[in-house]
Amino acid sequence: MREALIQIRSDTEAAFDEAFERASTAMRTGQPSEPVAVFTFSSPAQLFTIITPKRWELIEHLQKIGPSSIRGLARSIERDVKRVHDDITALADWGIVGHSEDGKVCVPYDVIHANFDLRAAA
C-alpha cells in the first residue's frame, strides 16, 4: 500500500533531516520508505493555499473513481473543465496527483494521512 503524509512543520531543518533519514534508509535497505511521500507545508496558510476545499474534493473523488481524464473528472463532479485543469495542475506540481500510464490523472497513493497540530503561540 502506498501511503503519503501531509504535514505542517515550521522547523524546516528538522523536516529535511527526517526526509534525508527516510531516503537513506530506503537506499540502504532497498525498500521504499513509509510513507512513500511526505508533503511538508510551512504553515496552515500555505497548506490551505495549495489544498483548497475544491482541490481536496478532487483528491477524494479521484481516490474513489480511479484514473480519469480531466474532462471526465470535471463532468463527474459538475465543475468547469478549466477550473478542474487548473486545480489538477497545482496538485500535480506538488506531486499530490499524478498521471497513470495511459495519461489519465490519478492519486498515486492508497492512503493520505494529514498530520499537524495547531497550538497557541507561547
pLDDT in tens, 82-111: 999 999 999 999 999 999 999 999 999 999
Reported as a single tens digit per residue, the pLDDT across 47-88 is 999 999 999 999 999 999 999 999 999 999 999 999 999 999
- CA 7 to chain centroid, in Å, comes to 10
Note whether residue 101 is domain-resident: yes
Counting the structural domains of the chain, the total is 1
- Strands 37-41 and 3-8, by their bridges, are parallel
Give me the residues paired with residue 111 across strands: 3
Cβ-based neighbours of 111, under 8 Å, separated by 6 or more: 1, 2, 3, 4
**C-alpha 91, offset from chain centre:** 7
Residue 76 is assigned to a structural domain of this protein: yes
pTM, two decimal places? 0.76
Residue 54 belongs to domain with CATH number:
1.10.10.10
74: closest CA among 12, 111, 65, 26? 65
Residue 35 placed within a domain:
yes
3-state secondary structure (DSSP) of residue 8? strand
In a domain, 88, yes or no: yes
122 in a structural domain: no
The parent domain of residue 9 ranges over: 3-115
